[in-house]
Structure 1
């Protein structure tokens, strides 16, 4: 709970919740605007959703697709935030910061690879049916 100007905890309000959503959507907009890798994730997201609709996948299969997409976007957002914070804290080159950035980027790679595997395992059987295999 955030304290007010006097240090007292503020209570729950719908207005502050809506503001929080606004900040979150703003952050996603900034992510899409500034990060080239987010464009790749966006293209993969749109393609995966379109193919999933075209194949008529089941609701239970949609759960996997949505989870995979959400995890990749979350990882990319965290990676971008970590990189931005690192650039503020250490504008010049620092080997320790390079390691932090590389590890964060590696986390995105792990999620993206897992999402691709989920896509193959989830959508693959539908493609096999189309190919009559």
Structure 2
């Protein structure tokens, strides 16, 4: 096993560049990431319009973050699967479906959190 080198600020900064490259790749290549970006913008706009309380922002940020993390992990998992098994394999397909299902679970949970935060504001505005 390769021994890690000494700590270096330059190496830490370079690791951030890899992370940003990965996020850029996800945004360029995954249509669902575009949907998540639109939903994120919508949540922030609604939160600002309704002037939600700080404790509600915490729930909204947590929900949005969980969805983005799930999408990023799913994207990475799909690409690893495609390298390991370039030809269709039913077991790899099942694994990819489960990873996509995790994103769906996160998105449904986030939608429930958003509804619980925004519903009282929406009802009060009528």
Fold in common (TM above 0.5): yes
Residue 72 of structure 2 is aligned to residue 63 of structure 1: no
Name the CA distance, whole Å, in 1 between partners of 2:57 and 2:7: 34
Deviations 1:88-121 (A, max 9, x none): 1001110110110000000000000000000000
Give unmatched runs, 5+ long, in structure 1.
none
RMSD over aligned Cα atoms: 1.1
Runs of 4 or more off by more than 4 Å in structure 1? Answer: none
Bigger radius of gyration:
1
Provide the TM-score with structure 2 as the length reference: 0.96
Q: Secondary structure at the match of 2:65?
A: helix
- Which protein, 1 or 2, shows the higher relative CO under an 8 Å CA cutoff with sep ≥ 6? 2
Give unmatched runs, 5+ long, in structure 2.
none
Deviations 1:27-82 (A, max 9, x none): 11110100011011111111111111111001110001100110000000000110
Provide the TM-score with structure 1 as the length reference: 0.91
Matching residue of 2:70:
75
